[in-house]
Structure 1
Amino acid sequence: MVLSFGSAATPADSTHVLIVDLYVNHQRMGETFVLQDESGRFYVDESALLHWEISRPWPEPQQFSGVSYYGVHEFAGATAQLISRTMELRIFMPASLMPLRRMSMQNVDVDAQVEGYGAFMDYDLNWLNQGSISETSSYGLFRPVLFGPFGNISANVAYRDLSSSADARRLSVLELTYTRDDPERMRSLRVGDVYTTAPEMGRSLRIGGVQLATNFATRPTLITYPLPDFYGETAVPSALDIYINGRLSRSEDVQPGSFVLDNVPVMNGAGQMQVVATDALGRQQVFTQDFYLSTELLMQGLSDYSFTLGALRENFGLGNFRYGKLAGSATWRHGLSDNLTVEGHGEFTEDLAMIGSAMQYGIKAGGTVSTGLGFSDSDAGTGVRLQLGFRRLTGSMHYNIGVSGSTEDFSLVGSQQSQPKLQVVSSIGKNFYENGSLQLSVVHQGFYEKPERTIWSVDYSKRIFGSLSMSSYISYLDAQERDLSAGFRFFVSFGNNKSASANISTSRNGTGANAMIQRSMPMTSGYGYHLGIGKSDNSFVEAGGVAQNEYGVYSVDVRSNEYSGTAWQVGTRGSIAYMAGMTRASRQVEDAFAVVSVGSLEGVRVYSENIEIGRTNESGKVFVPGLRPYLSNRLRIEVDDIPLNARIGETSVDTAPFYKSGVVVNFDVQVTTNVVFRAVLPDGTPLPEGAVAIIYHTGEKFPVGMDGKLFLQGIDRSSEIEIRWSGSVCDIDVPYPSGSAVIAKLGDIVCEPRKD
């Protein structure tokens, strides 16, 4: 449609108002108004530019009937073409004028859930008979946990009964810790037995005390190291295929304009990323970018810290709650940029203090340089430690060299040995793909109080054919007592969790060989076994079996050799848990669990990540162990197990429990009483088709069908029901059916007209 105006038109002496079917960069925008001047140039109003998100600055507008219009020809690189036959106006805007669009490649976090109070205890029990000793010894490990909105209290307790020992029975509390996680701030508060973070310049410590530390595990989808960003532009809507080292990683859709792919997940080391943009006509643009990724770095602005104060743990595993000197440790790492991460560390006891700093720098050419400097002051004197390293990883090769040295008086908290005077660790590896992979490494250590030593080693592995693979090594120890050792290992998989392996090795201590065939235990209920034979200083034969059901794992192992006779071991491991009124024996919980409730229905199958866990009990509940904390766990019920007279809400739920805790997942499944009957008036006339029945207590509405047929779902013994049609209302008394029919047939029921 064309509307012509005379002197009122400002863009030209004669301007046409057109109603066109507008396309911008091949994307249909729908019907809209545009202006066309006598020169054939087109003008669009301000609202259109805002809708298209055209980047500013814009040219000077022209006024028409009080509205600002902008000439398409005044935007650099823009074109407009009118197809008169279809009145389609096709406008092309270059990508430089379109907005910059950012698309994050990281996974979306899920909110962790806290659901009431509960407890569980993982256990591992074993009974062992050595053959040459007539008595049977037993030992076990117990890990009780109490959890709730307050956090969790956990312990590790070891028990052993060594019948042949004077100190036959012993119960040892290895750890007792209160933990409160804060996923929002990615940190944890721990009180009790804790581990300190192992810094670049020190070692991890066992301390009884208080610790506040970063805990990236509370945000497992967060990638802490810097990932590459990819910049590109496209003038039309396109599909992006993202390839990492030639393999399709993921696909995205992008609108016209410049785009940035933030934090693209790639493999560690050097590589190449290609983005193929394909428009609706099949035309392709290919963008290529090289990258180098180092997991040693922190992304810019991210910090990792740990602050601990308490007393050093002593005689771990031998005594309960034995602590020594006052000790403290503090470590802080920060990503100053995507290429530079700095670290500071300090630790002390009553008679020793140590402070150090370190740096990791990612060079653009590919590789990571690390440096560190530390000072200690103790009764032995003041010491210094210096270290320097370089690492580079590509798709087919890797290089690594690290050099560190300490003065004789340099000391670390909790260390009973002096630090090496000089230590050099270097390795180089090459992947020959179908021809296997080769690695060479050298480790040299020089000491102040004992002779130096050097270890040279060569490792080679190759897939021979099919599922048969081979690995081998040669190692030479150059020390006071020299040793040359070598070995071969063959491995083949037969499928269905079955495999076989054979090993042969030799050193100054002798030559040994063994072979084994085994079946791995499946993730669900099932069994596995292994059979082996070998010879080193004496010949041996061994066999074992393991079985798993929903209550636990059970194992038996037997080994016989010519010197010590026959030994056997029997073991079981599992868990006992309580939450939401349910006590359950199950496989080990490990990190988290769920109690799933499906109304009061018994026998409904429940799946975790599409793996069947079990069926609901007589209370409609089932226990689901082994959930992943702070990650989405998909729980699903089997719809085929739900009776036809049940109303179902969601059939699958995503849940993310806290670490060492449980959640309650309720599926909205309600068994209803359903009836079908013929609704009639007192004179026997069926109610008209289209009338609506309303159940008062639920508000649900049901339509009346042909010949007065009416289906009602969810009635109870006191349901009040009315039927409305064409201004008329009647009340009906539906008798509650007896029996267990899914849909009870009630025959004819009279609906009494309501009197005004």
Structure 2
Amino acid sequence: MRRIIPSRPLGIALPTLSGLCAFAFCHPAQAASHFDEIPAALGSAEAGQAIHAVALQLEIVINGVPSGVIIPVWANNGQFSIAAGDLRALALPVEGDPNALIALAQLPGVSVTYDAPNQRLNLQVPSAWLQNQTITIDRGRRRVTAQSSTGALFNYELYAADGPRSAPMVSLWNELRLFGPMGMVSSTGVLRHNGSDTHYMRYDTRWTYSDQDSMVTYEAGDIATRSLPWTSAIRLGGFQISRDFSVRPDVVTYPVPAFAGEAALPSAVELFIDNHQAFGGKVQPGPFTMTPLPQMNGAGQASVVVTDALGRQVTTTVPFYVSSTLLRAGLTDYAASVGIVRQSYGLRSFDYGQLAASGSFRHGLTDAITLEGHLEATKSLVVGGAGTVFRLGVLGIINAAFSYSRHGGRDDRGSGSQIVIGYQYQRRNFTFAANHTRQSAGFTDLAMIDRLDRNENFERRRSEMTSVSASLALGKFGSLGAGYIDARWRGEKRIRLVNASWSLPIGRSINLFASGTYEVGSDNWAGSLNLLIPLGGSRGTVSSNIVRDDDGQISSRIDYTRSVPTHGGLGWSASLARLGDGDIYADGDLTWRTADIELRGGAYGSGGDITRWLGASGSLVWMDGDMFTANRISDAFALVSTGGTKGVPVYYENQMVGRSNADGHVLVPWASAYYPAKYAVDPLALSDDMTADVVSRNIAIRRGSGYVVDFPIRRMVAARMIATAADGTPLPVGSAVRVNDSSSTYVGWDGVVFAEDLAASNEMAVTLRDGSVCRASFAIDINAGGIADLGTVPCR
């Protein structure tokens, strides 16, 4: 569709262009003007000729792309001029009075062709003048607000064992969750019975709420503090507020490169990452920017190939380095915690110490520099530290941090420091990392303070650890890995270890893995040789290994494993091992999984020392006024409701998960939190008198919560009839039909009309082709079910 811009009053002005900069750099001299030579202003004679020029109404075509806009073009002796305002409306960078004419021939780099038969003016302009196009490759990342219904969940894992050398024992691990729009309250623990002793151990009890808009998570109760790579996490009974990027899968937190190019004509563009095509599409003339896939990591090489309509290709190759340890420029990550230090975790249910506070901070100063900071404090300890992560162009990542602590305890050496420095490099087939940590004798943090204050045997001596590792992919020859560790912890013996490994694929599915470790300065070494043989299909996997420990003893083992099928059934495993002392050790188990529960049982031991065990795990869910049983639910889940309709097939991510039960419910126990998954029902499985207004929905669910996904399926009161005129002939096909002044349809072939949403008594109006309207009345039994066949219905 062409848009016509009315003529402007004729004016005269000096043609200039607004400033443009190159994609990567802009030099001041270039920004001042787009012209090497500024066109001269129109003289009096030229102005007089312009006044007598002919005004044509032409569609403008820019670099081969029709604009769809018709504007006045002034033609005079083969020269063409257009008002500055009209050029700006075409997104061309022209300055000046909107009514002033710009002589196109005087614009540098612009060629003009008049297409008289098609009444078009073809302009070929520098591609840098055109608007920049942004091509987003990863279109799957979009924000969906996560939901949560109100409900409760109880996860359990029951284990019982009996052996000749120990009393029978039974344990019940459990997790209780209460969730709703205001967050989730959860509590975990284990009930144990061993002989005459029965006790309950509580692990964690806390309330959690996440705000997607601000990407902030609030926690109260038993919390684990957020730590940096060079700090330690501790457990507190208190409150924590932290930035939580996981609630927004659409947000890419680390810097990814944007590749740019230009197209003079409509062109095809391709992006290759390390010679693998990542994108292919079309671009219009002008500059463009491509944002690549955020899954990129490490060093690589990107090639942008632009092919125009004439087959000419321009290839631009750029090296890059991407690291997820960096934050995008301007992005901030933080966590602040305050509470009472949790002590004897896993041994006592309610053992808390002194009041403490902890805070961590990260900020993307630039795309190449991320700043870090950390602070801890109690009444007797203050720890502060700062660090940075820095990208060395395409050469890798350096991280460095320094911490200082001041402890006012009984030890007179109450201050100390920690230095951490590291380097990482990664590319598609090679990785390398080196790290060094040194703590002075007086350095203390919250992870150590509890033992110090309780006078436990804790040596306050200098600690050092250096580690170096590398891996190399060799294609069909497998992959190699090597590493070195030099560590001395709190005055203990210095340990220096060298390790190496080799993984080799044999054929299409068999894998051989060999590894070895040697302690420098001693005769101790250990090694292993492993062989993995998948048998294909559902027949399971056979594996075997030979191990030499650092005492020189050699053991061997062979295993067979058949996993439980994805949708439930029977799985089993069996192992036979010869230990280093010559004993024979055996292990075997069976697993039976249904949609409601997983049952396990087995035995293990050697000689007459055999331990037998049984296990069961699953979950109970209360939602939507009903209770459900399922396998253990570790994250979010969904309850699909079909409005009480039984037997409706339900799909999750295009995979059928079941049919609705008598109450119209299907539980989907394996949803991923905050991921916008597709839930759907199959309308083709419904009876003729049933309909679903919505058959698919994309839903994201909060972490640890459940959500009722509604698909209202209702019984449809419908009828089929043949509408006839007064003389008995069928009404013309295509005539508009309106029933009860609400639902509308059309007359089909041979006068057939299908009407929905009917009442016991109905009025029908049909608009014929000549505009006249005929009317009919009919009644049906709305409780009969199915689609009523009314036969012939006269319309008068």
**TM-score, structure 2 normalization:** 0.85
Which residue in the other structure is 2:238 paired with? 209
Shift of 1:288: 1.1
Which residue in the other structure is 1:619 paired with? 663
2:239 and 2:339 in contact (8 A); partners too: yes
Shift of 1:130: 3.0
Is residue 352 of structure 1 aligned with residue 381 of structure 2? yes
Which residue in the other structure is 1:24 paired with? 62
Which residue in the other structure is 1:452 paired with? 494
Partners of 2:308 and 2:592 lie apart in 1 by 55
More displaced 10-residue stretch of structure 1: 549-558 or 675-684: 675-684
Which residue in the other structure is 1:561 paired with? 606
Shift of 1:47: 6.2
1:710 to 739, 746, 753: 753
2:84 and 2:96 in contact (8 A); partners too: no
* Pair 40,608 (structure 1): closer, same or farther in 2 beyond 3 Å: same
Partners of 2:334 and 2:704 lie apart in 1 by 22
* Pair 441,710 (structure 1): closer, same or farther in 2 beyond 3 Å: closer
Partners of 1:307 and 1:44 lie apart in 2 by 62
Which residue in the other structure is 1:541 paired with? 586
* Pair 83,463 (structure 1): closer, same or farther in 2 beyond 3 Å: same
Gaps of 5+ in 1: 1-5, 62-66
Shift of 1:384: 1.5
2:462 and 2:491 in contact (8 A); partners too: no
1:99 to 108, 131, 134: 131
Paired residues for 1:342-421 under 5 Å:
342-378=371-407, 379=409, 380=411, 381-415=414-448, 416=451, 417=458, 418=460, 420-421=462-463
More displaced 10-residue stretch of structure 1: 321-330 or 595-604: 595-604
Is residue 472 of structure 1 aligned with residue 514 of structure 2? yes
Partners of 1:263 and 1:331 lie apart in 2 by 31
2:178 and 2:185 in contact (8 A); partners too: yes
Shift of 1:350: 3.0
* Pair 118,720 (structure 1): closer, same or farther in 2 beyond 3 Å: farther
Which secondary structure state, in structure 1, belongs to the residue aligned with residue 662 of structure 2?
A: coil
Partners of 1:585 and 1:650 lie apart in 2 by 27
Which residue in the other structure is 1:154 paired with? 186
Which residue in the other structure is 1:434 paired with? 476
1:484 to 525, 550, 557: 525
2:681 to 617, 627, 637: 637
Shift of 1:319: 2.1
Which residue in the other structure is 1:64 paired with? none
Shift of 1:596: 1.4
Q: For the aligned residues, what is the CA RMSD?
A: 2.9
1:49 to 87, 90, 93: 87
Is residue 518 of structure 1 aligned with residue 542 of structure 2? no
More displaced 10-residue stretch of structure 1: 397-406 or 188-197: 397-406
Partners of 2:272 and 2:605 lie apart in 1 by 54
Shift of 1:670: 2.7
1:195 and 1:205 in contact (8 A); partners too: yes
* Pair 11,298 (structure 1): closer, same or farther in 2 beyond 3 Å: farther
* Pair 488,631 (structure 1): closer, same or farther in 2 beyond 3 Å: same
Gaps of 5+ in 2: 1-9, 11-44, 452-457
The one-letter code sitting in structure 2 at the alignment partner of 1:588 is R
Q: C-alpha deviations, 1:447-485, integer Å up to 9, x for none? A: 453221111111222223221222211111247x86210
* Pair 419,550 (structure 1): closer, same or farther in 2 beyond 3 Å: farther
The one-letter code sitting in structure 2 at the alignment partner of 1:330 is G
2:320 and 2:394 in contact (8 A); partners too: no
Partners of 2:563 and 2:304 lie apart in 1 by 41
* Pair 684,462 (structure 1): closer, same or farther in 2 beyond 3 Å: closer
Shift of 1:263: 5.9
Partners of 1:606 and 1:359 lie apart in 2 by 50
Shift of 1:563: 5.2
1:550 and 1:614 in contact (8 A); partners too: no
Which secondary structure state, in structure 1, belongs to the residue aligned with residue 246 of structure 2?
A: helix
The one-letter code sitting in structure 1 at the alignment partner of 2:584 is S
* Pair 303,448 (structure 1): closer, same or farther in 2 beyond 3 Å: same
Which residue in the other structure is 1:126 paired with? 159
Paired residues for 1:75-224 under 5 Å:
75-83=107-115, 89-105=121-137, 107-130=140-163, 132-133=165-166, 136-163=168-195, 166=196, 168-224=197-253
1:9 and 1:15 in contact (8 A); partners too: no
* Pair 633,419 (structure 1): closer, same or farther in 2 beyond 3 Å: farther
Shift of 1:45: 4.8
Partners of 1:48 and 1:549 lie apart in 2 by 70
Partners of 2:475 and 2:725 lie apart in 1 by 84
Partners of 2:734 and 2:118 lie apart in 1 by 45
Is residue 595 of structure 1 aligned with residue 627 of structure 2? no
2:424 and 2:433 in contact (8 A); partners too: yes
More displaced 10-residue stretch of structure 1: 407-416 or 123-132: 123-132
1:675 to 707, 712, 719: 719
Partners of 2:761 and 2:697 lie apart in 1 by 34
Shift of 1:749: 4.2
* Pair 373,342 (structure 1): closer, same or farther in 2 beyond 3 Å: same
Q: C-alpha deviations, 1:542-567, integer Å up to 9, x for none? A: 332323322132323333422523x3
The one-letter code sitting in structure 2 at the alignment partner of 1:97 is W
Which secondary structure state, in structure 2, belongs to the residue aligned with residue 217 of structure 1?
A: helix
2:483 and 2:500 in contact (8 A); partners too: yes
1:701 to 720, 744, 765: 744
Is residue 586 of structure 1 aligned with residue 615 of structure 2? no
* Pair 70,554 (structure 1): closer, same or farther in 2 beyond 3 Å: farther
1:113 and 1:656 in contact (8 A); partners too: yes
The one-letter code sitting in structure 2 at the alignment partner of 1:490 is L
Shift of 1:118: 1.0
The one-letter code sitting in structure 1 at the alignment partner of 2:609 is S
Shift of 1:9: 9.2
Is residue 652 of structure 1 aligned with residue 696 of structure 2? yes
Aligned residues: 733
The one-letter code sitting in structure 2 at the alignment partner of 1:113 is A
Partners of 2:735 and 2:128 lie apart in 1 by 61
Which residue in the other structure is 1:288 paired with? 317
Partners of 1:243 and 1:99 lie apart in 2 by 24
Shift of 1:154: 0.8
Partners of 2:509 and 2:761 lie apart in 1 by 69
Partners of 1:522 and 1:591 lie apart in 2 by 21
Q: C-alpha deviations, 1:578-618, integer Å up to 9, x for none? A: 22223211122221111212233211111111221110112
Shift of 1:708: 5.2
Which secondary structure state, in structure 2, belongs to the residue aligned with residue 625 of structure 1?
A: strand
Which residue in the other structure is 2:106 paired with? 74
Partners of 2:207 and 2:132 lie apart in 1 by 48
Give aligned-pair identity as a percent: 24
The one-letter code sitting in structure 2 at the alignment partner of 1:114 is Q
Partners of 1:169 and 1:333 lie apart in 2 by 46
Partners of 1:527 and 1:79 lie apart in 2 by 75
2:761 and 2:777 in contact (8 A); partners too: no
* Pair 36,651 (structure 1): closer, same or farther in 2 beyond 3 Å: same
Shift of 1:193: 0.4
Partners of 1:40 and 1:464 lie apart in 2 by 75
More displaced 10-residue stretch of structure 1: 628-637 or 663-672: 663-672
2:588 and 2:602 in contact (8 A); partners too: yes
Partners of 2:502 and 2:120 lie apart in 1 by 67
Partners of 1:451 and 1:690 lie apart in 2 by 93
* Pair 196,448 (structure 1): closer, same or farther in 2 beyond 3 Å: closer
Partners of 1:736 and 1:216 lie apart in 2 by 57
